[in-house]
Amino acid sequence: MCCGQKRSAMKADGAPNPTAVKLLYRGQFPINVRGSVTGQVYQFAARHSAQLVDPLDATAMTQTRLFKQIPWR
């Protein structure tokens, strides 16, 4: 099993990644974003939707200004 498969298996068990970052989407329209590092697809429904994102992907996403990191704990 390669690292990508292990990562998918860990996500499949439903437990949140303790290092995950919560990002708030600031765009107007629904969007799907593929993480530049993990390849994970993140779906944001509309303005002000938020979800947990792998920190490896969050860095590039926040540089677009469409996303803002917010606290989740």
pLDDT at 45: 92
What does the pLDDT read at residue 35?
96
pLDDT in tens, 19-70: 999 999 999 999 999 999 999 999 999 888 999 999 999 999 999 989 999 9
pLDDT at 72: 81
52 contact partners, CB below 8 Å, separation of at least 6: 16, 17, 20, 21, 22, 23, 72
In sequence order, what are the residues at sequence separation of 6 or more whose Cβ sits closer than 8 angstroms to the Cβ of residue 51? 22, 23, 42, 44
Give the three-state DSSP class for 29.
Answer: coil
The reported pTM is: 0.75
| Of 4 and 50, more confident | 50
